[in-house]
Amino acid sequence: MSRKKVQVLSIPYILWVIGFTVIPLLFVFAKASTNAEGDLTLEYLLAIFDPVHRKALLLSIALAFTTSLICVVISYPVALILKTSKFKNTKIIMFVMILPMWMNFILRILAIQLLISKNGVINHLLSMLNLPSLNIINTPAAIVVGMVYDYLPYMLLPVLNCVLAIPDDIIEAGKDLGAGRLRVFTRILLPLSLSGIGSGITMVFVPSMTEFVIANILGGGKIQLLGNVIEQEFSVSMNWNLGSGLSVALMVFVLITTFLFGHDSSGSNRNFVL
Amino acid sequence: MISESETDPSEVMCLSKILIELKGISKTYDNTPVIDELDLSIRENEFVTLLGPSGCGKTTILRIIGGFETPDKGSVYFDGVDITKLPPNKRQLNTVFQKYSLFTHMTVADNIAFGLRIRKKSDSYIKDKIKYALDLVNLPGYGDRYPDSLSGGQQQRIAIARAIVNEPKVLLLDEPLGALDLKLRQEMQYELIRLKNELGITFIYVTHDQEEALTMSDTIVVMNQGYIQQAGTPESIYNEPINAFVADFIGESNIYDGIMVRDRLVNIGGLDFECVDEGFGEGEPVDVVIRPEDVELGDPASGHTTGTVTSIIFKGVHYEIQVESAIGITFMVQTTQNFPVGSYVGINIIPDNFQIMHKPRSEAEEILNINDYQS
């Protein structure tokens, strides 16, 4: 196929991006940099530094960071175990991991709510065993539980792919040159897994940063993440200018973190992700 | 069977001591035995090649010596010490892997320094060693590059540099030149011989390429289906193959069914030929090997038998000629003379150039251990 014909094939995608990404974003930027009267102002773009908004942003960052970290801590050992085990049918494992994603997202979060609520399944079991009850519903911890449950596959898949792709002979070469288990892990396995962990963090951190539905359901509407603030500005306060200003600020933070995690610390840029 | 003009390889090597000894090694994968009761001794400063077709167990032996596999039975001794259960990182040997296996996330210099840093060498020592190793493999100034930016041959030389800076007593090489093209492979062969002579370390080399084995080795160990078929100098293996498998695997051969008439006389295709072999039973069926370069073509009148040229191929150094002989067998001949297709020629083979071997009594015996032939 000629180059021109190939370019023709990209037209639907380009139209899609223009119609549903570029133009709406321009509207957001326009709203964010003007006030209700339509005059140019920086007020809404800088509104992120208001104490209330700053607090929401910091909480969003903290919860997103915690969620990403927990996802790494859960995923990486699974990947290592699968790599070293004799059970080579990783497709089945991946299938099991992805299975929850086949259910509706809201349903999954409502199920978590049922599990961890004050009179929920877990507390029922704990009281039957005469153990102290679990009181995390309507706290940031509950939101983290929900986000980890929801976003774990996005960490697991890139980490698993990356770790399984590390050739066994490179690990053997490390042992051959005198490295024990710990050194093989820190000097070879971990550095070679960074690209997978990096893309996993990007794919977990970004949606966690902008999350508001999980916070609404599991936080009981009491915990304000930046996503909740923005949602309320649009749907409750009807202050679209402030909502847009905060959205742009959030986008900037997301871009910064993506850039930070996207770079492989080894210095070579072959592992640049996203 | 071994002619007296050849020096016995074990006599040459007995000056240096045995460094590695495998005793009664057996290894089974998924209920399939790969190696069975194998014994092998490797001497200090020897270039030993394990040669055989794929699946013959040569790589498994290398991995057992390297510590990456544990034998089901038997022991590995290094300098007299049993190292069968010692993990690879505690062994005084280094491996050059088939796929180079460089650390792609490190520079060439960091790759080379990997083993030295683990052994806590000083920075100045490491710096000197990196420079020395890069010079040794003819890649000075490549320290800051990443492995991905190097060609296959360069990567392989870095892999060798990374192994030898640790000054191992033994270097294990697993088909290290397999992925390289012919020209580069030949250059690397000379480079490996040079390294071996300069460094004075023992090389254990695994390959399925008989030419590579003949070029580089002090000792060749020919293997088939987990058994050692023959071990000896390249000359002795080429000139005195112990059975049809070795003869066929090392170089091109004419292999014929023959019957021993009596000592020094063998019958092939109904015609008696003089040979130098003794000690076979009268009337015993034997395998007869004649190297293509040992078949002489000439005037029909002076030939022991005659034949007609059916094909001739120019191979550069020599012609490769097929001759359909009057006794019903086809000779493959290598000669610098040109005999056109259809030529009527005389065929002569001097007695020294017949290699007579016992026929295996059964299919199973074909793969039996060398010791069974000798006993």
**What CATH code is carried by the domain that includes residue B162?**
3.40.50.300
Q: Which residues contact A121 (CB under 8 A, 6 or more apart)?
A: A114, A115
End-to-end CA distance of chain A: 28
A169–B101 C-beta distance less than 8 A: yes
Chain A residue whose CA is closest to B119: A178
Task: Write the residue in B97, B103, B148 that is nearest to A270 by C-beta.
Answer: B148
- Amino acid occupying residue B200: G
Distance CA B148, CA B68 (A): 26
Chain A residue whose CA is closest to B96: A173
B118–A177 C-beta distance less than 8 A: yes
Domain count, chain B: 2
Does B151 share its domain with B225? yes
Residue A100 pLDDT more than 90? no
> In this predicted structure, what is the pLDDT of residue B137?
87
Residue B370 pLDDT more than 50? no
Flag whether A243 is in a domain. Answer: yes
Q: pTM value?
A: 0.78
The token pair at A265 is 């610390």
Flag whether A38 is in a domain. Answer: no
Chain B residue whose CA is closest to A179: B89
Does A6 share its domain with A134? no
Give B166's contacts in chain A (Cβ within 8 Å): 177-178
Q: Choose the final residue of a domain: B172, B205, B239.
A: B239
* Nearest chain A Cα distance for residue B190, angstroms: 24
Does B119 share its domain with B171? yes
CA gyration radius for chain A? Answer: 23
Q: Mean per-residue pLDDT for B3-19?
A: 56
* Nearest chain A Cα distance for residue B88, angstroms: 5
pLDDT digits (tens, 9 = 90+) for B147-167: 999 998 899 999 999 999 999
**What CATH code is carried by the domain that includes residue A88?**
1.10.3720.10
> In this predicted structure, what is the pLDDT of residue A1?
60
A170–B87 C-beta distance less than 8 A: no
B119–A178 C-beta distance less than 8 A: yes
CB-based contact (8 Å) between B68 and chain A?
yes
Distance CA B170, CA A272 (A): 39
> In this predicted structure, what is the pLDDT of residue A55?
94
> In this predicted structure, what is the pLDDT of residue B10?
47
Mean pLDDT (chain A) is 89
> In this predicted structure, what is the pLDDT of residue B372?
42
CB-based contact (8 Å) between B97 and chain A?
yes
Q: Choose the final residue of a domain: B217, B239, B261.
A: B239
Distance CA B78, CA B85 (A): 12
Out of B76-85, B124-133, B148-157, B192-201, least confident range: B192-201
Chain A residue whose CA is closest to B163: A177
Higher pLDDT residue, A102 or A21? A21
* Axis crossing angle, helix A190-209 with helix A51-84, rounded to the nearest 10: 140
Does A142 share its domain with A121? yes
Higher pLDDT residue, A261 or A7? A7
A contact test, residue of B70, B105, B129, B175 with most A CBs within 10 A: B105
A74 vs A113, A155, A258, CA distance in Å? 21, 9, 21
Chain B residue whose CA is closest to A268: B105
Please state, as a whole number, how many other Cβ atoms lie within 10 Å of the Cβ of residue B313: 9
Instruction: Give the domain range for residue A27.
Output: 1-32
Does B194 share its domain with B322? no
Does B49 share its domain with B133? yes
A178–B97 C-beta distance less than 8 A: no
Band of residue B253 on the pLDDT scale cut at 50, 70, 90: confident
Flag whether A37 is in a domain. Answer: no
* Burial class of residue A13, CB neighbours in 10 A (0-12, 13-18, 19+): exposed
CB-based contact (8 Å) between B110 and chain A?
no
B99–A167 C-beta distance less than 8 A: yes
B193 vs B217, B234, B255, B317, CA distance in Å? 9, 15, 32, 24
Distance CA A140, CA A55 (A): 13
CB-based contact (8 Å) between B86 and chain A?
no
Flag whether B4 is in a domain. Answer: no
Angle at B206 between CA B202 and CA B208, to 5 degrees: 145
Percent of chain A residues topping a pLDDT of 90: 69
Flag whether A165 is in a domain. Answer: yes
pLDDT digits (tens, 9 = 90+) for A40-73: 999 999 999 999 999 999 999 999 999 999 999 9
> In this predicted structure, what is the pLDDT of residue A272?
38
> In this predicted structure, what is the pLDDT of residue B31?
85
Among A212, A192, A204, CA closest to A261: A204
Flag whether A56 is in a domain. Answer: yes
Give B95's contacts in chain A (Cβ within 8 Å): 172-173, 176
B contact test, residue of A171, A176, A184, A269 with most B CBs within 10 A: A176
Instruction: Give the domain range for residue B142.
Output: 9-239
Q: Mean per-residue pLDDT for A108-114?
A: 92
Please, where are the H alpha helices in chain B? 9-13, 58-66, 108-118, 123-136, 152-164, 182-199, 210-216, 234-239, 244-249, 370-374
End-to-end CA distance of chain B: 14
Mean pLDDT (chain B) is 88
Task: Write the residue in A173, A179, A266 that is nearest to B101 by C-beta.
Answer: A173
Domain count, chain A: 2
Does A28 share its domain with A57? no
Q: Mean per-residue pLDDT for A180-193?
A: 94
pLDDT digits (tens, 9 = 90+) for A237-273: 999 999 999 999 999 988 888 788 765 443 333 443 3
> In this predicted structure, what is the pLDDT of residue B362?
52
The token pair at B289 is 């090997």
Among B343, B352, B247, CA closest to B299: B343
ipTM for the whole complex: 0.78
Residue A215 pLDDT more than 90? yes
Residue B105 pLDDT more than 60? yes
Higher pLDDT residue, B6 or B171? B171
Give A178's contacts in chain B (Cβ within 8 Å): 89, 115, 118-119, 166
A177–B148 C-beta distance less than 8 A: no
Flag whether B245 is in a domain. Answer: no
Band of residue B95 on the pLDDT scale cut at 50, 70, 90: very high
* Nearest chain A Cα distance for residue B144, angstroms: 11
Does B101 share its domain with B13? yes
Out of A186-190, B126-130, B185-189, B235-239, least confident range: B185-189
A169–B105 C-beta distance less than 8 A: no
Does A144 share its domain with A189? yes
Among B237, B208, B219, CA closest to B57: B208
Chain A residue whose CA is closest to B166: A177
A270–B114 C-beta distance less than 8 A: no
Distance CA B113, CA B122 (A): 11
Residue B42 pLDDT more than 50? yes
